[in-house]
Amino acid sequence: MLYFADWKWWQWHKERAEYLTFAGEKATVFATGQLVDDPEVAMVRQKETSGMSADPSEICTGFNSGHQAINIAALAGGEPILLLGYDAQKTGGKAHYFGDHPDLTEAPYANMVNELRKAMPYFERNSIRLLNATPKSALTFLPKVSLVDFFSEVSQ
């Protein structure tokens, strides 16, 4: 799945070959998604900012697309959920793991970290392991795992 929460992201990437040839499902959140003019992009309803939604018809936003993608993965039955590229801080001089946005916007990092931390009871209640494989992540409250160890475990 290709998930994005920022209409501007879609504007910047909609003509790129990687976007155009992506064979999986594409989705965004309704609040900004209503500006996306692409019939291949599904719209997901926003419940609220904080927490994780247990209702498959809506997600919580947590101030960032990573939080939203985690909510979608949990609703889809993901267990464990592995975070990769979720640094939640400026790393290596870049505002985002993949690089800077053309308009140089930065995510509200402190809010992102705080919202995910507040959502942790949802994962505990539902016995969902949320694992972090991002080397330089501000999500220090999550168990760290290497990709090698993770794939060794799940392949057994």
State the DSSP string of the chain.
Answer: -EEE--HHHHHHHTTSHHHHT--S-EEEEHHHHTT---TTEEEEEE--SSS---STTEE--TTSHHHHHHHHHHHTT-SSEEE-S---S-BTTBSSTT---TT-----HHHHHHHHHHHHHHHHHTT--EEE--TT-S-TTSPB--HHHHHHHHT-
Q: Is the pTM of this model over 0.95?
A: no
Q: Which pLDDT belongs to residue 154?
A: 76
pLDDT along the chain (156 residues), means of 10: 90 94 94 86 92 95 94 96 91 70 78 96 97 94 94 80
What pLDDT, on the 0 to 100 scale, is given for residue 34? Answer: 83
Instruction: Give residue 23's pLDDT.
Output: 96
pLDDT for 97 equals 62
